[in-house]
């Protein structure tokens, strides 16, 4: 009797993922790089000389893309060590930790933009996963309030669900223009969505308050 051949499910899954294959062929560390390329093409929110902070940066694929487009200071923060990228600073730690925040300030006195592609480890329970993702969004917004310069921009991943409008409205109150964007490369069935927020209000007063606030 012949033995049944074991199938590498994970291997076959990735081999069918065109976005993953494209990312690997182009030298990126994950398929997330292709998503960021699409996001920035449709939403060019950063200037070449901007200083950009990446929250939840592992494995570093977003910073690979940013390094190709940005000449300013790039800093990535993650709980896990990241393989070095030439010209990019990395900090291992919790981005909500005061010690980590102080290190960021030392490396990047002026933060023009923040990106956050971080997501919690997904359990498969949508309501639970979404609640944890929104909690992570709130933590990222705490960093925005502390570090992002007035007029700065934000790209942040979130997940659609019952709490999404709540976090979206919080962000709308802190930026002059906010909209959502779902890359074509998002996996089928995923509730993942990106919030594109321009012109952080901060604590200052200026004449941009009259600008139209974008919406979904």
Q: Catalytic positions, please? A: 157
The two structure tokens encoding residue 53: 């902070």
- SS3 string of 174-205? CEEEEEEECCCCCCCCCCEEEEEEEEECCCCC
178 closest CA partner among 144, 136, 133? 144
- Do β-strands 89-92 and 148-159 pair in parallel, antiparallel, or remain unpaired? unpaired
The two structure tokens encoding residue 208: 């941009």
Position of tokens 């609640």? Answer: 131
Phi–psi pair at 92, nearest 5 degrees: -95, 120
The two structure tokens encoding residue 12: 């076959």
3-state secondary structure (DSSP) of residue 52? strand
Cis, peptide link before residue 36, omega less than 30° from 0? no
**Angle between the N-to-C axes of helices 32-42 and 61-69, in degrees from 0 to 180, rounded to the nearest 10:** 40
């Amino acid at each position: 009797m012949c033995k049944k051949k074991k199938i590498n499910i994970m291997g076959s899954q990735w081999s069918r993922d065109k976005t993953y294959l494209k990312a690997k062929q182009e030298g990126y560390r994950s398929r997330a790089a292709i998503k960021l390329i699409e996001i920035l093409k449709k939403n060019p929110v950063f200037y070449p000389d901007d200083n950009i902070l990446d929250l939840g940066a592992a494995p570093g694929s977003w910073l690979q893309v940013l390094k190709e487009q940005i000449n300013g200071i790039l800093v990535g923060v993650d709980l896990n060590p990241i393989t070095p990228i030439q010209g990019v600073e990395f900090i291992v730690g919790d981005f909500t930790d005061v010690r980590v925040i102080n290190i960021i300030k030392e490396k990047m006195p002026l933060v023009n933009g923040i990106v956050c592609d971080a997501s919690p480890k997904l359990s498969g329970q949508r309501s639970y996963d979404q609640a944890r993702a929104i909690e992570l969004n709130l933590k990222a917004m705490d960093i925005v309030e502390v570090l992002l310069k007035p007029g700065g921009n934000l790209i942040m991943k979130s997940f659609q669900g019952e709490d999404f409008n709540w976090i979206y409205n919080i962000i709308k109150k802190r930026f002059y223009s906010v909209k959502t964007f779902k890359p074509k490369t998002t996996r089928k069935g995923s509730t993942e969505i990106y919030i594109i927020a321009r012109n952080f209000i901060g604590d200052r007063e200026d004449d941009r308050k009259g600008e139209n606030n974008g919406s979904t």
